[in-house]
Amino acid sequence: MFIDLPQVNLPRLVIVGGGFAGIELAKQVRNRFQVVMIDKNNFHTFQPLLYQVATAGMEPDSIVFPLRKLFKGVKHFHFRLAEAQEIIPTKNIIKTSIGEIEYDYLVIATGSTTSYFGMERLMANSMPMKSISEALDLRSCILQNFEKAINTPDLKEREALMNLVIVGGGPTGVELAGALGELKKHVLPNDYPELDFRRMQIHLIDSGERVLGSFEEKASLAAKKFLEELDVHVWLNMRVTDYDGLEVTTDSTEEFRAATLIWAAGVVGVRIQGIPDSAKTRGGRIRVDAFNQVVDTTNIFSLGDVAAMETDATPQAHPQVAQVAIQMATNLGKNLKRSATTREGWKPFQYKDKGSMATVGRNRAVVEASFMKTQGIFAWFVWMFIHLIALVGFRNRVVVFFNWLVNYINYDRGLRVIIRPFLPRKNS
C-alpha cells in the first residue's frame, strides 16, 4: 500500500531522519523539490543538551522542536510519523511502518544509536543516553535510587544506590560527569539530608590515555582537573567488560559497585535494509562518495553519523558530530539545486572543522576553535553562547537561557521530579 501524497510537478526527495542533517537538507532544497520527511518521532532533538535533561537541569520540551512547526508554511513539505524498514532501489521505493513511498531521490540521515560492542548483559543493565526518552529514564533512575537509599538500612546497599559509573570519556561522558558532580556538591545534599554524601562515588572510566581524546592535551588535562574539582574519580586506560546491575567488571583489579552505570562509550550507525552490501562498512555506517552518494546506487544519498566518506584525508571517515552532518546537508542541498539529474557543477564535500567544546559544570569548560583555544570561565560563556544560538526555536533559546540563569544564581535545579517511574530492565 502506497502512502497518499499529493502529485506535483516536482521531483520527490524523501529524507529519512529529522536530525541535524535532515532538517538542514530540507531547508536547503525547499520549494525546489517535493520533500517527504520520515521519522519515528515528530520532533527534532538537540542532542548536545540531553545530559542536562538527564540531570534535571531542564525539561525535555526545552531541547525539542516539532518538525511540522519547523516547516510550517513551506510548500510541498510533508512529514510522516513512521519507521523506515526497507529500500527497494530497483523500484525507487522505500517501505515504512505505515506503507510504501516512491521517490526520485532518497536521503538516509538516520543517525546513530548506542553501541555495546556485543556485551549483551551490560546492554540489558546499563543506561544509554541517545534520546529524550532515555534521558528521562536516566533522570528517574537516579532519583529513584536515592529514594531507595534513604529506606535501606544496609550501608553497602545504600552506597551502591548512591554510586554512579559513567563509561566513556568523550564530550558526552565528561559533560554528564560534571553535571552529576555539581548535583552531588550543591543540590542532592539539600534534598536528602539523611544521606552521607561523602560515601557517594562518581566514577568516569575511559579506555584511552586521557579524557576528551579528540582534543589537544592541554584541554584534556584541564577537563580532568575540572572533574576532579567536582569530586569525580577519573579512571584511564581501563575497559569495562561486564555489568550485572550492581558489580562493574573491568580489565583491571579495581572493583566498582553501583546501581547505575551510564554507557557513553560508543555509537553505531542506524542502517536500513536494502543498502547494497558494497556500501556497508564498519560501525553500521554507509559508504558514500565525495558527493554523499551511496556507492553503487544512482539516486540514494546518506548524511551525518550514518554516512562514511572514506578518503585519503579521512580514512576512518568523518567524526560523528553535528557540524559534519550540517555541512554535508548544506553541500548536498546546493548540489541538488545546481542539477539534480546530472552532476554538472557539483562540488565535492570538504569538511571545515569549526572546533570542539565541552563543559564540565559551572564556570568550567574547554574550547578549541579556529579563532581561540581556552579553558575555564571564558570558555564556559563561549560554550553557552554557541549552544544557545544553535538551538531550534526562539522559545527554546529563551527557556534554556532562563534555566541557566536561575541555576547559576542559586545553584539549584528545580526539576527533580519523577514524572514517569523508570522500570529497570534487569536481565542478568
pLDDT band at 173 (very low <50, low <70, confident <90, very high): very high
- Per-residue pLDDT, 405: 87
- Mean pLDDT over the full length of the chain: 93
Listed residue (271, 317, 276) closest to 296, CA to CA: 276
**Span 206-217, average pLDDT:** 94
**Span 31-43, average pLDDT:** 96
- Per-residue pLDDT, 413: 64
- Whether 298 has a pLDDT exceeding 80, the answer reads yes
Domains of the chain: 12-40+82-114+268-338 (3.50.50.60), 120-265 (3.50.50.100)
- Whether 410 has a pLDDT exceeding 80, the answer reads no
- Per-residue pLDDT, 273: 96
Q: Which three cell numbers stand for residue 84?
A: 523506515
Angle at 8 between CA 7 and CA 10, to 5 degrees: 130
Q: How much of the chain exceeds pLDDT 70, in percent? A: 98
pLDDT in tens, 236-283: 999 999 999 999 999 999 889 999 999 999 899 999 999 999 999 999
**Span 119-140, average pLDDT:** 93
DSSP state of 304: G
**Span 337-355, average pLDDT:** 90
- Per-residue pLDDT, 423: 77
Listed residue (282, 246, 328, 272) closest to 21, CA to CA: 328
**Span 140-162, average pLDDT:** 95
Measured CA to CA, the distance from residue 268 to residue 386 in angstroms comes to 27
Measured CA to CA, the distance from residue 243 to residue 166 in angstroms comes to 12
Task: Point out the least confidently predicted range of 20-24, 341-345, 355-359, 378-382.
Answer: 341-345
Distance of CA 127 to the CA centre of its chain: 14
**Span 304-333, average pLDDT:** 94
**Span 119-134, average pLDDT:** 93
Task: Point out the least confidently predicted range of 60-74, 280-294, 367-381, 397-411.
Answer: 397-411
- Find out whether 203 and 164 touch, Cβ atoms under 8 Å: yes
- Whether 152 has a pLDDT exceeding 70, the answer reads yes
Q: How much of the chain exceeds pLDDT 90, in percent? A: 83
- Whether 428 has a pLDDT exceeding 50, the answer reads no
Task: Point out the least confidently predicted range of 46-60, 102-116, 397-411.
Answer: 397-411
Q: Crossing angle for the helix pair 171-182 and 217-229, nearest 10 degrees?
A: 20
Task: Rank 29-43, 331-345, 411-425 by mean pLDDT and report only the highest.
Answer: 29-43
Measured CA to CA, the distance from residue 272 to residue 270 in angstroms comes to 7
Listed residue (79, 110, 144) closest to 305, CA to CA: 110
- Whether 41 has a pLDDT exceeding 90, the answer reads yes
- Whether 426 has a pLDDT exceeding 60, the answer reads no
Residue 278 — left, alpha, or beta (φ > 0 → left; ψ -120 to 50 → alpha)? Answer: alpha
